[in-house]
Amino acid sequence: MPLEGDTVDTGLECLGAVGTGARPLDLIGGTFPATMGWRRLGRYLRSLEDKGDLIRITRPVDCYLEAGCIADKLVKNGGPAVIFEQPKLADGTISKFPLAMNLYGTRRRTNQALRVEKPSEIGERLTDLMKPDIGAFAKRPWKAWPLAKKALSLPPKKVRKGACQQVRMSKPDLTKLPIPTTWPMDGGPFITLPLVVTKDPSTKEHNLGMYRAQVYGPTEVGLHWQMHKHGADHAAASDGKMPVAICLGGPPEVMFSAIAPLPDNLEEYMFAGLLGQKRLRITKCLTQDLWVPAEVDVVIEGYTIPGETQTEGPFGDHFGHYSLEGEFPVLHVTAITHRKDAVIPMTIVGKPPMEDGYLGEAIGDAFLPVLRFQHRDVQNMFLPLETGFHNLAIVSSKQRYPAQARKTALGLWGAGQMMFLKTIVATGPEHDVKNLDALLDVLDQNVSIPDDLVVLDGMVADQLAHAAPYEGVHSKLLIDASTPRKQGHPNISLDGIEGISQHRWIRPSMLVITTQIEGGPSETENTELIDEEGANRQREQISQLMNSIWQLENSNKLRWLFITDDSLNLDSEDTMRVLLWQLFCRFEVSRDLHYSAEGNRICWDATAPIPSTEGKMPVRRWPAVCIHDSSIQTKVDEWYEEEVRTWA
């Protein structure tokens, strides 16, 4: 398409770190205008600040561990977004770029960023394009105009120069950017909200993905694109150096497009236009043959070399554990450009709930209308943030004929990124999928074991799934809880059973017990070495506990036995949240699901497993849990009590 000329905004008043002087729209508690997107990150930040939903820290804050710990404290407490005005770099100097974190760390802010009252509005826009009412438009053509406007917003608009190129670093140096190290055992600083641009070598179509990037030095970055991602596809198909750009910041609609599970025939740049109700402006990189969003804050240009890799990681990841080292491609930086008033947005991921959890929830809600259009039996779906998303989906399905909910669930495992799901609980059409108490109710009342459990072995897993016995491969569990049943409940006492630290009945047929695992993996250190003796002792301990309980009189109605280690306090306020995290993030279906001799009861082993190759299925290296440095945590806790707790 023809170039539109130099369309850089030069007439608007600059307000430093927060963008232009354009009057921010009143977006909280009112109607969300749908005439345009944010256009730039600064407008969104200004709107947050005007509503008291953003705080500024004017003192120096270290990018090493401190900034991430503050952001984590804020998101865990439903706190505001934060701008660190003086982020301290590794060499002790202060970066000239402010660092912003926790921008999307509540449902309210996520909806505000997307300019919607509820995320499902986004999916409804997509389905309007997918199923236009041709009959109505033929009779009343003027009714097609709103749909035509949506379609016209799809193709990106090429401009000669973007605001992202207002300044070019004379000598590219990534270490001058405020890129945080968020966890003590991380392999280095990581870009955690990168908008990674690649293009298909054959079709020239651009892809915008979000793959974390480890900074090795001034001009080298490790790109963690997993084997299932488009970036990896493009790299595999490239004969020589492959151009890559990492964009930072920009309007929220561009960031959301990078993480959205789009159909293959809808480019991220087109989706960003649909979100913003206006064509996305893109501009040509200065040193690479790529087009990037013109209004982002920073563009890091470079290339990868086929076959060249470097060790990347460890990294405190969204499952709450460290993902361990691996070999990944290296980006060689050729240029860094940025806006004059650039702000660097980053996030911290780790033990949920985290900021990425709210984004994930929004994605699930936004694409539910599309999913329902493609899978007509789906009524509703929810991926709880407590379980790391890829580990559990709760699906309500139409139930007109026997096993319809099962059919629905099996179909979803073939739908794009849902291939990574470990467990699906299929429920009836009236089930409230977002009510986790209701989830326990249907597991207790509606599931007949083993008839309502379906195990699929040797299926695709997320490359980050540390509990999987093999990288990228695990077993999946379908639980059919769609049909109400009349089932009895146990009446037992656990007195005299050795090895139980605590126990708690979460439903009449569902018992949770904790136990101490001798020599079990440490939460603070990666467990790298195989320990067959310790692993065998752990398996025997679980088996003995399981059988001791199942041999009790009147225990035949105890259908669900959950065992975890005593790192979980069953009397704490957040017991259920932590339990969900342990049950689904530690658990491997083929290894940790045990049936009673009669087959009508199951034991779900959620203890942290000791690495082994001799059990039913192997246990790979077991990673440490993401835990902040204690001295920094104490400092941040004190700061929060003094300066932030009164925020509301």
Q: Which residue has the tokens 């920094």?
A: 632
- DSSP letter, residue 89: -
Shortest CA distance to 45 belongs to which of 95, 77, 83?
Answer: 83
**Among candidate residues 300, 308, 373, the one with its CA nearest the CA of residue 338:** 300
Quote the tokens at residue 317: 């990841």
Q: Say if CB 357 and CB 324 are below 8 A apart.
A: no
* Distance, CA of 492 to CA of 179 (rounded, Å): 55
- In angstroms, what CA-CA distances link 521 with 285, 330, 352, 607? 47, 32, 20, 9
For 437, other C-beta atoms within 10 Å of its C-beta total 10
> What contacts 265, CB < 8 A, 6 or more positions away?
none
As given in the structure block, the two tokens for residue 28 are 């909280």
Residue in the block written with tokens 């109700």: 277
Give phi and psi for 319, each to the nearest 5. Answer: -80, -5
Nearest residue to 183 via CA among 211, 210, 214: 214
CB 375 within 8 A of CB 415: yes
Cβ atoms of 475 and 467 within 8 Å: the answer is no
Q: Quote the distance between the C-alpha of residue 600 and its chain's center.
A: 35
Question: Residue 250 and residue 42: Cα distance in Å, rounded?
Answer: 8
Q: CA-to-CA distance for 269 and 584, rounded, in angstroms?
A: 34
Sheet holding 81-88, edge to edge: 54-62, 81-88, 99-101, 344-345
Catalytic site residues? 317
Nearest CA-CA partner of 211 in 186, 199, 228? 228
Q: How many CB atoms lie within 10 A of CB 531?
A: 17
CA 558 to chain CA centroid, nearest Å: 35
Return all residues near 477 (Cβ < 8 A) that are at least 6 apart: 422, 423, 424, 453, 454, 455, 456, 589, 593
E-state strands within 3-118: 54-62, 81-88, 99-101
Q: Count CB atoms within 10 A of the CB of residue 224.
A: 25
Pairing relationship of beta strands 298-304 and 326-338 according to DSSP bridges = antiparallel
Greatest CA separation for the chain: 82
Alpha carbon of residue 454 to chain centroid: 26
Q: Are 625 and 568 in contact (CB under 8 A)?
A: no
Residue 115 zone, left/alpha/beta (φ > 0; ψ -120 to 50; rest):
left
Q: Scanning the structure block, which residue is given the tokens 């989706």?
A: 271
Residue with tokens 């599931």: 447
Phi-psi region of 382 (alpha: psi -120 to 50; beta: other; left: phi over 0): beta
